[in-house]
Amino acid sequence: MCEYHLGTGDMFKTAGGLGIIVNKKNGTFYYQVVAPAAGTTKGSGTSRIPTAGFYESLDNGIVTDVYLVPDKKYRRKRKRT
């Protein structure tokens, strides 16, 4: 589980590769795949996933790692479990 809220610039790792969040609005994360996994192709453009669905994927183990931007000025902890 991710302890903090995610925002623009944060990265995440899945079986499909490494993605970066490029925008966050209206309860949706918009992301781009920056490093596809071996045997997969890089999609063009921006994909989206609802924030609740992303955090659910994080709890289920589909998203394996989250890398937070180190120089973000403010970051809030998540209250949900």
Is position 39 within any domain?
Answer: yes
- Output phi, psi for 10, to 5 deg: -75, 150
Tally the domains of the chain. Answer: 1
> What pLDDT sits at residue 25?
93
Is position 76 within any domain?
Answer: no
State which residues form the domain around 30.
11-67
How many whole angstroms separate alpha carbon 60 and alpha carbon 57?
Answer: 5
**pTM of this prediction?**
0.80
pLDDT digits (tens, 9 = 90+) for 29-47: 999 988 887 777 777 788 8
Give the percent of the chain with pLDDT over 70: 90
Is position 2 within any domain?
Answer: no
Is position 75 within any domain?
Answer: no
Is position 63 within any domain?
Answer: yes
How many whole angstroms separate alpha carbon 29 and alpha carbon 41?
Answer: 21
Is position 58 within any domain?
Answer: yes
Rounded mean pLDDT of the chain? 84
Is position 81 within any domain?
Answer: no
> What pLDDT sits at residue 45?
80
Q: 73: which DSSP letter?
A: S
